[in-house]
Structure 1
Amino acid sequence: MSFSLLLIQCLNGLQYGVLLFLIAAGLTLVFGVMGFINLAHGVQYMVGAYLAFAFFGLTGNFFLALVLSLIVALIFGLLLEVLVFRHLYDRDHLDQVLATFGIILFLNEAAKVIFGPLTLTIPPPEFLSGSVQLTENLRYPVYRFATIAAGLAVAIALWAIVTRTRVGMLIRAGASNPTMVSALGVNIQRLFMVVFGFGAMLAGFAGVIAAPIFSIEPGMGDNILIVAFVVIIIGGIGSIRGAFIAALLVGLIDTMGRSLATSTLSLVLDGSMANQIGPALASMLIYILMAAILIVRPEGLFPTKGAA
């Protein structure tokens, strides 16, 4: 593999990892604090992308569309919590899985009805539409750099909130022992609403910044939800630090593995067979990594023990 290809794969892996973190951060808090299995979290990523498309069409301004999408994604998450999810907290996990899977089916079909089944795209902001010369033969899009920077900024802000504020203290305590937090007089229902709404907004933000890069289509959040679950299992359920490190690790392994697996197999197999087997083998790497980590550390890399 050439240096240019290695560099671009690293950057793509970092960008993918940042998007995974934005989705996994909300998911790990919901799962860790509330013990709630929300399969519909990936749909909120899709909702964010479609909101960006709709508001961009109305305003013609990407950043205005971003702000409006975040507000609506937050409201949408809170409405789901009030109307559906809070009635499932005391139910078993099978009921939660079935209910949230039903929401996935409903919202995917609603997206087809409202926006059509075809893939949609939106352009990046004009001043971020160029590219940067990294090497003599390599240029990399400015917008992808911007998504990496935005994701890292959100990660730092989220870390500060979770570790330096009262709300963050309650979230960390809830992730470790929600029963004790409730017994101490904390309004656990309100805490659940905050966590759920914030998680939905983070997933929506990931969808918005991914919209100019990936295709916007019904079901776009289903596959990334599976990878997000892998991230929180590797990092440790309820751990923001674990979600961040695991997301970057999974993003780099998944992205670079697709190139390395094919190029490595081409040394012993013919080109066509290597191209067929390589991507399939690469897609297994993150699950192999998850299994290996669970054997050594069943609670994940950074299990919650009073700190996220």
Structure 2
Amino acid sequence: MDLATFLIQCLNALQYGLLLFLVASGLTLIFGIMGVINLAHGSFYMIGAYMAYALAPIVGSTFGGGFFATLAAGLVLSVLLGYVLEWAFFSYLYQREHLQQVLMTYGLILVFEELRSLLVGDDVHGVQPPPLLAGSVPLGELMSYPVYRLFVSVMCLVLALGMYLVLGRTRLGMMIRAGATNREMVQSLGIDIQFLYRVVFAAGVAIAVLAGMLAAPVSSVYPGMGNSVLIVCFVVVVIGGIGSIRGALLAALLIGIVDTFGKVFLPQAAGVLVYVLMALILLWKPQGLFKAA
């Protein structure tokens, strides 16, 4: 492997890991902080990808906007979707058994898949990156790397920093962490924990939707695309430590490296290497790399 190929694989690992972190961080908020096993989280990723495909012509013809206006419209709709879902379904699950959480969120997967089939169909669709980011950066004489993939990595890093600062350095983050530790005590202090949980859930949904919208020009849009990413997201949450944002970031980057270079050097065993990594880390640190933060 020459230097240019190695650099491209490193960039691929970084971009995949950061995008995986973006999806898993929303699951970390919902699962780690609110205690709800949300199997439908991968469906939010799928919804984001289909939003990028379906909203682009609507936003473009109505408001004259492009890809970035589509991202903004998708984020607004995803926040509303998350708020309504928490109010209608998830608010009844906090004190229920995990089996009931699994059954209800699995039911939501079936509902979202059927709605997707009815509204958009079952074909595979492509989403074009914005013209501003459609070029590539040369790496050596024969190879280049798409600018859009670099943009996705930068966006993920900015959002990771933003989530870390909000949860660790703001009053809102303090209330969220306190509510995750002792819900009754926070309520007794006069904080509306129900509204706080709806904000957290809406944020988790919006992050997953944004990840799907950013990933659409890279991976295309196809039925069931959220199911495969859901499993890897749970692996990220378990490796990083349930409820830890920095743990999810480190775990996602490790998985990105193992998966990308595993496909290069050990293609026949690439699908297993991620789970081997999880087993080794849990043998070393059963609670994950970091505690909840």
TM-score by length of 2: 0.95
Paired residue type of 2:35: G
Q: Kindly indicate whether residue 275 of structure 2 is the aligned counterpart of residue 287 of structure 1.
A: yes
Q: Is the 8 A contact 1:235 1:245 kept in 2?
A: yes
Specify the SS of the correspondent of 2:95.
coil
Q: Is the 8 A contact 1:88 1:96 kept in 2?
A: yes
Question: Separation in 2 of the partners of 1:301 and 1:171?
Answer: 21
State how 1:12-27 maps to structure 2 within 5 Å.
Answer: 12-27=12-27
State how 1:168-247 maps to structure 2 within 5 Å.
Answer: 168-247=173-252
State how 1:94-109 maps to structure 2 within 5 Å.
Answer: 94-109=99-114
CA distances 1:209-262 after superposition (whole Å, capped 9, x unpaired): 111111212211111010000001000000111111111111111111111114
Specify the SS of the correspondent of 1:51.
helix
Cα deviation for residue 175 of structure 1 reads 3.6
Q: Which residue matches 1:139? A: 144
Cα deviation for residue 165 of structure 1 reads 0.7
Q: Which residue matches 2:172? A: 167
State how 1:123-138 maps to structure 2 within 5 Å.
Answer: 123-138=128-143
Q: Which residue matches 1:68? A: 73
Q: Kindly indicate whether residue 127 of structure 2 is the aligned counterpart of residue 117 of structure 1.
A: no
Question: Separation in 2 of the partners of 1:220 and 1:27?
Answer: 16
Cα deviation for residue 179 of structure 1 reads 4.5
Q: Which residue matches 1:88? A: 93
Q: Which residue matches 1:273? A: none
User: Which moves more between the two structures, 90-99 or 186-195?
Assistant: 186-195
Q: Kindly indicate whether residue 11 of structure 2 is the aligned counterpart of residue 6 of structure 1.
A: no
Q: Which residue matches 2:261? A: 256
Specify the SS of the correspondent of 1:241.
helix
Specify the SS of the correspondent of 2:144.
strand
Specify the SS of the correspondent of 1:91.
coil
TM-score by length of 1: 0.90
Paired residue type of 1:228: C
Cα deviation for residue 183 of structure 1 reads 4.2
Paired residue type of 2:238: I
Specify the SS of the correspondent of 1:70.
helix
Change (3 A) 1:178 1:234: farther
Paired residue type of 1:186: I
Cα deviation for residue 121 of structure 1 reads 1.2
Paired residue type of 1:22: L
Equivalenced residues, count = 288
Cα deviation for residue 284 of structure 1 reads 0.8
CA distances 1:90-126 after superposition (whole Å, capped 9, x unpaired): 2110010010001001111211111110111110000
Between the two proteins, what is the percent identity of the paired residues? 50
Question: Separation in 2 of the partners of 1:184 and 1:250?
Answer: 41
Cα deviation for residue 54 of structure 1 reads 1.4
Paired residue type of 2:34: M
Change (3 A) 1:165 1:19: same
Q: Is the 8 A contact 1:34 1:178 kept in 2?
A: no
Change (3 A) 1:5 1:179: farther
